[in-house]
Amino acid sequence: MTRYLDYSATTPVDERVLEAMMPYFTQEFGNANSLYSLGRDAFRTLEAARESIAKNIGAEKPSEVIFTSGGTESDNAALIGVLNKIAPEGGAHIISSAYEHHAILEPLAWLEKHGYEVTLVKPHTDGHVYAEDIEAAMKPNTKLVTVMHANNEIGAVNDIKAIAEVAHKHGALMHTDAVQSIGKVPFNAAEMGIDLASFSSHKIYGPKGIGALYMKAGTRFDPIIKGGGQEKRRRSGTQNVAGAVGFARALEIMMEEFDTENARLAALRDSAIEQITARLENTEASINSGDRLPNIAPLLIKGVEGESMLLQLDNLGFAVSTGSACSSGSLEPSHVLLSIGVPQEVAHGSLRISVGRHTTQQDIDDLVEALVPIVERLRAMSPVYTRMFCS
């Protein structure tokens, strides 16, 4: 039996979500753009899903929600779609942070190659991006600011409202990647004053392959996916009605269970951090205070290599994640940990435990029992552990 503790990577589809989706595969399969009743019914279902999502993210109008294939597409569309429209010849400046997801960093690198200027602001060692640092990076030609709402490796939650105020004060648009935060911390697009936001369904017990881009009414945009003009010409392609229904239902459940579930997850997170740091010397949480997600325990286990820990935990049936270089296929450890000032040799020992709907206290207790001897064994096998930490 696998004990799944990697809910920030993905989540299982909730049974209630699956049930809501089922009719739309084989029976109510119509194309939402067809004029006959099967198509019109699909259209109504799609619009009901849009309305539900709009309400739960604090959009003022359902039409501000555009369905996409997921978080990565939403991020690409937000950055490239907006800049292509407002500065088609390049020359505009974009501010972001150094610990964004690659779905932001890679489109930014592409934009940089195509005549745009990019500044990546460093987060502080407390894990947060500060509005004053964004302000200090402003230039007369800054057109867009994009900062993630919650970081996927360390769980830090940023004050997007404050950053949006700075962006708007300087005439720039504000985008946030809310893939990790939605349903776990309060999110209201209108109150936060943002222009664009990215969401994904599979992080909240919905199906993979569907997400959304929030785009405030009136935002100038050139679609990156061109074709039949669906989604009010902002994202072509036949809409994924079953996916939209699943995503909407998944978000509804997150909101219905918001208070009780997030308090329960935060207690599990804290239990994991407390037990592991108490039982193992030279371990700490990379961030352990301030505004953060209830479900990520970001640990640094010094003097071991993350992939070794991950594989040995997997042998015992525990699925966790690491930001070590060796797990990613690159030689650099996590850019997130390095950006908040974690030294390279410590970043190699990162362990991300992310809890979710099916995690119990027993799972956390069992994980700790499994992890302690694994770390002790790996440290005993290390030629440098004593030299590095016990002198």
Partner 1 sequence: MIYSDKVMDHFNNPRNVGVIEDADGVGEVGNPTCGDIMKITIKVDDNDTITDVKFQTLGCGAAIATSSMVTELCKGMKIQDAVKISKQEVAEELDGLPAPKMHCSVLATDGLKVAIDDYLKKHGREPLAGEIKSADPNFDPHADEDDAHHDDED
Residues that bind partner 1 (CB under 8 A): 303-308, 311-312, 315, 324-327, 329-331, 333, 344-345, 348, 378, 381-385, 388
Q: How many CA atoms lie within 13 A of 315 on its CB side?
A: 8
Quote the tokens at residue 11: 């989540």
Minimum CB separation of residue 179 from partner 1 in Å reads 24
Q: Which of 93, 212, 194, 82 is nearest to 148 (CA)?
A: 194
Element (H, E) at 44: helix 37-57
DSSP-derived letter for residue 229 is -
Question: How far is it, in rounded angstroms, from Cα 100 to Cα 102?
Answer: 6
Supply 190's token pair. 């209108």
Rg (CA), the chain: 22
Taking the C-alpha atoms of residue 54 and residue 134, their distance in angstroms, rounded to an integer, is: 28
CB of residue 316 vs partner 1: minimum separation in angstroms? 11
Give 181 or 312: the residue with its C-beta nearer to partner 1. Answer: 312
| Distance of alpha carbon 328 from alpha carbon 254, whole angstroms | 30
Lay out the sheet containing 173-177: strands in order across: 65-68, 211-215, 196-200, 173-177, 142-146, 93-97, 117-121
From the CB of 314, what's the least distance to partner 1, in Å?
A: 10
Residue type, 207: P
DSSP 330: S
Residue 61 φ/ψ, nearest 5 degrees: -135, 145
Q: How far is the CB of 127 from partner 1 (least distance, A)?
A: 22
Q: Which two tokens stand for residue 109?
A: 């690198």
* 125/330 with CB nearer partner 1: 330
Q: Is the Cβ of residue 96 or residue 312 nearer to partner 1 in the bound state?
A: 312
Give yes or no for a contact between 155 and 185, defined as CB atoms under 8 angstroms apart: no
Q: How far is the CB of 274 from partner 1 (least distance, A)?
A: 26
Cα separation, 294 vs 265, whole angstroms: 6
**Choice between 256 and 345, CB closer to partner 1:** 345
Residue closer to partner 1 (CB basis): 319 or 326: 326
CB atoms within 10 A of CB 44: 11
Active-site amino acid positions? 326
Q: Shortest Cβ distance from residue 233 to partner 1 (Å)?
A: 40
151/385 Cα distance (integer angstroms)? 30
- For 68, 133, 266, 349, the CA distances from 289, given in Å and listed in that order, are 34, 21, 12, 20
User: Please, which residue, 61 or 387, has the CB nearer to partner 1?
Assistant: 387
CB 123 within 8 A of CB 148: no
Nearest approach, Cβ of 222 to partner 1 (angstroms)?
A: 37
Nearer to partner 1, 20 or 346 (CB): 346
